[in-house]
Structure 1
């Protein structure tokens, strides 16, 4: 019959301290990519707040289109800033957290939501803008690497039944989150039309003006945003209905459009974005016509 060795008080303290050090040691494999993600999203946030274009992204490139699209911000803040917060939370939890199981659950949950949102935004850019951003794909790769690493490092102490229930809750929460994003970026929550902008857009339509542009042109999208929810009333002509590399629309060829956006107002051509005052003056719109 074996005897259990009785440890002295100082030995118990030493073992206890060692256990705490192991539990609190940084997850360096997660911490590294998280810090890289913070640098990347921090840079993109800085560029977005300055209104500039990220490095290696030429004007009207796919990257520039995404950075200046309505999907590049959330609740009035650059989307990159929200990514910076997620990477920051990942780095903080990977650096110090006493209980290993609690740490793992937090890391997995953050990486799960970060990856889900990154995949959603990549899909939106592909389907809505026919564009991919190198910076965005790099962030997606970092988040995917973190998620895979954390998933493979699941502690054996994680209960199986509870884990399955937790996955279900996370799945439902993710669907609700992505559904909320889709609702936010759709026109369902858009504010009511401004009567003056509505009247101006309708006047441009009635007067025979034409607004030629493309869905991948950042300046064209900025031009539309000036009209808010009344943008649908503009006399807009999409010049690349079959995609960026597709055939140019016949109407644009006949009008000899080679720059976007291009306005044709009262037989005069303006190959630039026009503000509300210019459109009012050039189209001879009278504000008293506003209902």
Structure 2
């Protein structure tokens, strides 16, 4: 009698209860992490404090790979997909151990363990793709992105060793299939989004490289203000510092700036105007009739122009 009760209790959950609780805690951190990024991208909260440097986080999160959907006024950052994934893991982690659920706990436990494994496996493989993009394509460091990757790997580890699996061969086979599918899809997506392929088509002799970072609403408003005040950026298509200045604003905001091409062989250049203005270095800003050369941070431009710029 005692033995049958013990077996019955064990069968309530094929895996570890503590593994589920740990996964729930980690997924909650993931929800906070990706949720903060998403709300920041939507302009609902201010700038984030990013350990390791805010510039790196902004460069990564505002890169072409930081946006999942951007059309017809709808913008879904990639972090939004992570938010949904972490929330799904949180729900699957705690649902079988909730006291309000009393019926079919065994069936629910088995289904949720498979769901936890599938999702954490896919997230871990996709995280590897994102880490590769961050270090080798974008060449920047984002603490929030690394944190999300570590959480994904930890969730996969817990699902593997806490799930109480009976057939490891079946588990490995399905894991390999999911990994290959996510890896292939991730590489195709990253290649399609890569701005370098677009550069080969839309750039040519005398044209500057394409700005790849994505603008926040605050940066777009700032750029529009600068243009409305008659503030001009003097640039040269071959100048790397000029491109760096545009990347600070992002693609959409840079398009709002008034930029004068000074190189004599640049497309649509105004070389003679630049000579009359006495432009000697690039980029140069003309603010209230005064020329100021060198790359300016957005905070510096804010002080020089009297604009209250805040992210």
Q: TM-score range by the shorter chain?
A: 0.5 to 0.7
Q: For residue 53 of structure 1, what is the aligned residue in structure 2?
A: 47
Alignment map for 1:62-211 (pairs within 5 Å)? 62-76=56-70, 77-97=76-96, 98=105, 99=107, 100-158=109-167, 160=169, 162-187=170-195, 210-211=236-237
- Aligned pair count? 226
Greater C-alpha Rg: 1
Q: For residue 26 of structure 2, what is the aligned residue in structure 1?
A: 33
Q: Is the 8 A contact 1:65 1:218 kept in 2?
A: no
Q: Is the 8 A contact 1:71 1:185 kept in 2?
A: yes
Counterparts of 1:60 and 1:219, CA distance in 2: 17
- 1:102 positional shift: 2.6
Q: Is the 8 A contact 1:69 1:218 kept in 2?
A: no
Counterparts of 2:175 and 2:13, CA distance in 1: 27
SS of alignment partner, residue 177 of structure 1: helix
Q: Given the two structures, how large is their TM-score scaled by the length of structure 1?
A: 0.60
Listed as ranges, the gaps of 5+ residues in structure 2 are 71-75, 97-104, 209-233, 256-260, 264-279, 297-311
- 1:169 positional shift: 1.6
Listed as ranges, the gaps of 5+ residues in structure 1 are 203-207, 229-233, 237-254, 274-291
- 1:154 positional shift: 3.9
SS of alignment partner, residue 42 of structure 2: helix
Specify whether residues 28 and 164 from structure 1 end up closer, same or farther in structure 2 by C-alpha distance, changes over 3 A only.
Answer: closer
Q: Kindly provide the CA deviation profile for residues 223-268 of structure 1, in whole angstroms up to 9, marking residues without a partner as x.
A: 555789xxxxx999xxxxxxxxxxxxxxxxxx655xxxx2689xx8
Q: Kindly provide the CA deviation profile for residues 122-158 of structure 1, in whole angstroms up to 9, marking residues without a partner as x.
A: 2211112221111111212212211112122242422
Counterparts of 1:216 and 1:121, CA distance in 2: 24
